[in-house]
Amino acid sequence: MLFFRLAFLFMFGSVGGWVLELFFRRIFSAKKWINPGFLNGPYLPMYGCGTMVLYGACFLPLPRWALVLLLLVALTLLEYVTGLIFIKGLKIKLWDYSDRWGNLQGIVCPLFSLLWGCIAAGFVYLLFEPLQAAAAWAAGNVWFIFLIGAFYGVFLADLCISFNVSFKIRKAAAQFKEAVHYEKLKAAINERRAARKLRRRFLFPFAGASLSDAVRDMLERQKERLRVVSAAVRRKKADDSVSEEDIVKSASGGDANSVSEEDGGSSGDREER
């Protein structure tokens, strides 16, 4: 029974997290529909694992507010470990917080830790009891157990396909010695399809694509953008330094003129005396 409860919780969290990330990208970050995550289907394993962590922590003999703080730390740690595994092991960035204040290696940041805390509070105060009842019902329902089995069959097949793609991406990115942003690579491949007047892919975005060419083109474009930005920053610094020199020179000239005027005025006073 416990096994089926946990299987239900993982499925619920994976699918629910995928829906959250899908709308977050559409409304706040990318402003368009992007299939989030590492897999092709509508599920995110990190959210499934997080749901099981949330569920298990609710049985600890702690006040609710203390549970929320504990889960904020636990979910942030889960996010950090997951991101680090993909970056170090597969040379893939599933997300990037490098532009966020207080980020750690672009993997975690205070803003999203706060969002994890909000999710933890919602689970502890609102979702735990109804989800516990739903998990107990699902574990005792034969037809729902069959549905759970079908879900995991598709999930495992998708996992094998996605890891195969990831190994190819790692091989293609090895010569550049840097991690590939997974969603930017998806977008770059769909842009190549659009340029050839082919249909964009929401599911299975890497199907039929030349990963080595796509990775090379994307990373070269990133380096070109960095060169342009660096050149612009250097020009701005040079202009600022020239402006400062002009200000100093003009100020020095003004001081010299004022001094000569004062000297002239003083000598004139002495002549009149």
**What is the C-alpha separation between 165 and 171, in angstroms, rounded?**
10
- pLDDT tens for the chain, 273 residues: list them: 789 999 999 999 999 999 999 999 899 888 888 899 999 999 999 999 999 999 999 999 999 999 999 999 999 999 999 999 999 999 999 999 999 999 999 999 999 999 999 999 999 999 999 999 999 999 889 999 999 999 999 999 999 999 999 998 888 888 777 788 898 888 888 888 888 888 888 888 888 777 777 787 777 777 777 778 877 888 887 777 666 556 555 555 545 444 444 444 444 444 443
Rounded Cα distance between 108 and 111, Å, is: 9
The span from the CA of 143 to the CA of 4, in Å, is 12
Give, for 181, the enclosing helix (H) or strand (E). Answer: strand 180-181
Write the pLDDT tens digit of every residue in 46-75: 999 999 999 999 999 999 999 999 999 999
Compute the distance between CA of residue 38 and CA of residue 158 in angstroms, rounded to an integer: 10
| Distance of alpha carbon 49 from alpha carbon 47, whole angstroms | 5
Residues 6+ apart with CB under 8 A from 220: none
Contact 135, 5 (CB under 8 A): yes
> Degrees (nearest 5) of the Cα angle 43, 219, 158?
20
Cβ proximity of 189 and 205 under 8 Å: yes
Task: Report CA torsion sign: 217, 219, 223, 225.
Answer: positive
Residue 169 vs residues 92, 179, 213, 223: alpha-carbon distances, Å: 8, 10, 10, 18
The β-bridge partners of 108 are 104
Report how far apart, in Å, the C-alpha atoms of 163 and of each of 13, 16, 40, 76, 114 are.
21, 22, 11, 24, 31
